[in-house]
Copies of this chain bind each other. A is one copy, B any other.
Amino acid sequence: MKEISEFSIPEPSLKRLPQYHHYLVELKSKGINLVSCSTIGRDLEFVPVQVRKDLQFTGVIGKPKVGYSVAELVVAIEAFLGWDIVNEAILVGVGNLGTAILGHERFSRFGLQVVAAFDIDPGKIGQTIHGKTVLSLAGLADIAPRMGIHIGIITTPAEVAQAVANEMVTAGIQAIWNFAPTKLNVPQHMIVHNEDLYSSLASLSCKLAKRFRAQIRETERLN
């Protein structure tokens, strides 16, 4: 395998890599060893040129008229996405959403193992949820560094998310996946990804409303 490209990858290409990975793992499980850009493009509904460009970022180059080695690509994507280096996370906030994430077996196939869950609710602490014992948030600063964990997931209400983020910074967490609908103030070195469901919702309802308004106008025009 070639060395991993140090050029920065455009966000859309990066976001497609898990889709390629998922697809390639399925091919592999079917015993398929080689695949071409055009086949990948056809199956995933991407332009083949785009497929070639996306996959180039992982350092793997397909052979003309032969295609890519499926196994090589799987390993290269996993390495590019860092699943060989970082794949353990802790989660804070074992409400409905936190429970959903803890129970999501598929995440482990996508490079994420949630190894510990924390909460502040005495009614939840000590309970076992999807095989993980819920720990007291007070223990985070001790446990996370000891386990060498660098990813933290926040699934708390918005009101307490900042306090949790502060705890995570103290605990040596370097990347936060934030599901709480609030902006976090964290030191510059922190990597934060806000999972903004309200934005998704806004995008959806805005498009639908636009269509309905057009229909209303059309009806008015005809009457």
Contact = CB atoms under 8 A, between A and B. Distances in A.
Most-contacted residue by chain B among A95, A104, A183, A197 (CB, 10 A): A197
Contact of A14 (B111, B202, B212): B202
A213 interface: yes
Q: Main secondary structure on chain A at its contact with chain B?
A: helix
A173 B139 CA distance: 47
Interface in A107-148: 107, 110-112
A195 B200 contact: yes
A144 to B, nearest CB: 14
B208 A151 contact: yes
A86 interface: yes
A49 interface: no
6 contacts: A85-B212, A96-B100, A107-B201, A111-B201, A151-B204, A191-B211
Nearest to A199: B15
Interface of A: 4, 9, 11, 14-19, 22, 44-45, 80-87, 95-97, 99-100, 103-104, 106-107, 110-112, 150-151, 158, 174-175, 177, 181, 183, 191, 193, 195-213
A100 B95 CA distance: 8
Q: So how many copies of this chain end up in the complex?
A: 2
Given A97-B97, A107-B197, A112-B205, 11 more contacts: A15-B202, A16-B199, A18-B198, A18-B199, A18-B202, A19-B198, A85-B208, A85-B209, A96-B104, A106-B158, A112-B201
A175 B197 CA distance: 15
Most-contacted residue by chain B among A9, A22, A106, A205 (CB, 10 A): A205
A8 to B, nearest CB: 8
A188 B123 CA distance: 48
Contacts of A104: 96-97
A83 B204 CA distance: 11
B174 A211 contact: yes
A151 B205 contact: yes
A200 B177 contact: yes
